[in-house]
Structure 1
Amino acid sequence: MRTAAQNVALLAAGGALLWITLAGHEYLHYVRPGFRIPLITTGAVLCGLGARGIAATWRHADRGAADRGTDDHGHGPRAAWLLLLPPLVIAVVAPAALGSFTAVRATDRAPPPAGHRLTTLPAGGPARISLTEFTARAFQAKAGHDTLTGRQVTLTGFARPAGPGRWQLVRLRMTCCAADAVPMRVVIGNAPAPRPGTWTRVTGTWSPTWAHLDGVALPRLTATDQGRVTEPADPYE
């Protein structure tokens, strides 16, 4: 029973990995897009090992318990079948990406903005940039290298409360996997606050004054337009 459970668990785990990488984009809830090929490879290897183990068990099923050893005798712990639960949950009810719950509890983990020097935003309409880039540009403007004054930008994230007359636009920044995700936050003024957790696209101009929340200085954006959007396939930056 124990060996059979292990082989089936390997097959199920590999199938779950292939399902979330080949049949959809659920893997983006857990890792960066660059991990897709390694995940596909891992899923294929696990499926191959599990299938090989199951086939070997079937081929030797008639040799008797003495030849197969105690692991295949059928008296292994029944709890071994619980190994199937994690891949089953991922395949059937894939956990959602991290969101506002994580952002509220990780406000002190925000990394410093990017240290590299950014170029001037291209001319034309509002520039669609990430919250990470906006934060980096705001810090660089504070240090004397201003690429934001007079320019409209468009940011996308989910809403969080930030006190009377203002709210936060938040998006989690992931370096490797969901375990290291930290919130990138921009305080929005001059716009009605959406319901917390609502994905929103905001267009506005940089405000040179800074807001202070949770002991952290955050850049501000004066909104000129906003609208609700669906959660992107890749919710992280």
Structure 2
Amino acid sequence: MNRHAQSAVMFLLGATLLHAGSTDLYLRYVKAGLRPLLLLSGAVLIAAALATLWYERRSTHHTDHANHPAHADQDDHATPAGHDDHDDHNHREPRVSWLLVLPLLALVLVAPPALGSYSAMRSGTALQQAYGYEDLPATGPLRLGVADYAGRAVYDHGRELSGREIKVTGFVALDASGRPYLVRMALNCCAADAQPVKIALTGKIPPVLRPDAWLEATGTYTPERTKDPVNNGPIPYLKVTSARPVATPADPYDETWNN
């Protein structure tokens, strides 16, 4: 692939990163905190593509002047016999190299779905103990992330959760026995290292639960726990008092697990 083609591909990649970073598309790939770096990377790639194109054109212009000075006779400009454009053809790269552009188009046109129950139930819970927990509001319902509730329930023993109305949103997953969980995939950096954090549900559970459906569960803390069948990690329960389906959030991943 020649310099002009390389510049075009680099420009497309930079534009794709800017497009992803300026919309919610990037949340399917990396955590929200990496958005500034993503935008910066896109801008740098575009600048590099334009600089490469400018340098290539300047080099070509200087080469033409060196090979064809203004005072040379007209005959000197003639192409030697048998030379013509054969060298260009000999050094032309295969057109198949343009297939490198296809992943860029796929990134924009075919956004992959967020990881769901299939991945969650084949991986053990990734719940980790936080360095500390922020104080919760003294009154009103508590809206907590899956990882935040699970961490407080297991490692803080529900100290600030007892007797409070709690709302948690996640997607539904069912184990082999049909036990329902509310899950959120937690990110350390990007979707490639996503791991599930799970909450087991008890109480007034809806009679029909569809895996991967998003649910807002309202309930109360209970000290009951179970162990993840995959890695024996701790899974707390939430005693559900009501539940309602909700739309998939713009950011389907949970970043609070390692704070």
TM tier, shorter chain? 0.7 to 0.9
Measure, in 1, the Cα distance between the counterparts of 2:57 and 2:134: 62
- Pick the aligned partner of 1:156 from 157, 165, 169: 169
Measure, in 1, the Cα distance between the counterparts of 2:167 and 2:8: 48
- Pick the aligned partner of 1:228 from 245, 249, 254: 245
Kindly state the Cα deviation for residue 50 of structure 1 after the two structures are TM-superposed.
1.8
Given that 2:127 and 2:151 are in contact with CA atoms closer than 8 Å, whether structure 1 keeps it comes out as no
CA deviation map 1:118-154 (0-9, x unaligned): 53x3233320011111111112354xx6222211210
1:1-237 matches, within 5 Å, as: 1-22=1-22, 24-57=23-56, 60=60, 63=64, 74-107=91-124, 110-119=126-135, 121-142=136-157, 146-162=159-175, 166-190=179-203, 191-192=205-206, 193-214=208-229, 215-237=232-254
Given that 1:7 and 1:53 are in contact with CA atoms closer than 8 Å, whether structure 2 keeps it comes out as yes
SS in structure 1 of the partner of residue 159 of structure 2: coil
Kindly state the Cα deviation for residue 212 of structure 1 after the two structures are TM-superposed.
2.6
SS in structure 1 of the partner of residue 147 of structure 2: helix
- Further displaced range: 1-10 or 166-175: 1-10
Q: Structure 1: which 5+ residue stretches go unaligned?
A: none
Greater C-alpha Rg: 2
Kindly state the Cα deviation for residue 37 of structure 1 after the two structures are TM-superposed.
1.5
TM-aligned CA distance change 1:9 to 1:199, over 3 Å:
same
Identity %: 36
Instruction: Give the structure-2-normalised TM-score.
Output: 0.77
Kindly state the Cα deviation for residue 77 of structure 1 after the two structures are TM-superposed.
3.2
Kindly state the Cα deviation for residue 73 of structure 1 after the two structures are TM-superposed.
6.3
Kindly state the Cα deviation for residue 230 of structure 1 after the two structures are TM-superposed.
1.0
Measure, in 2, the Cα distance between the counterparts of 1:81 and 1:106: 38
Kindly state the Cα deviation for residue 163 of structure 1 after the two structures are TM-superposed.
5.7
SS in structure 2 of the partner of residue 159 of structure 1: strand
Kindly state the Cα deviation for residue 207 of structure 1 after the two structures are TM-superposed.
1.8
CA deviation map 1:186-235 (0-9, x unaligned): 00112025210011110001121112331333100111111111111111
SS in structure 2 of the partner of residue 37 of structure 1: helix
Supply the AA of the counterpart residue of 1:112. Answer: Q
- Further displaced range: 197-206 or 81-90: 81-90
Instruction: Give the structure-1-normalised TM-score.
Output: 0.84
> Partner of 2:80 in structure 1?
none
Supply the AA of the counterpart residue of 2:193. Answer: D
Q: Structure 2: which 5+ residue stretches go unaligned?
A: 68-82, 255-259
Measure, in 2, the Cα distance between the counterparts of 1:41 and 1:117: 32
Aligned-residue Cα RMSD (Å) equals 2.7
Given that 2:127 and 2:147 are in contact with CA atoms closer than 8 Å, whether structure 1 keeps it comes out as no
Measure, in 2, the Cα distance between the counterparts of 1:80 and 1:165: 49
TM-aligned CA distance change 1:37 to 1:141, over 3 Å:
closer
Measure, in 1, the Cα distance between the counterparts of 2:168 and 2:150: 11
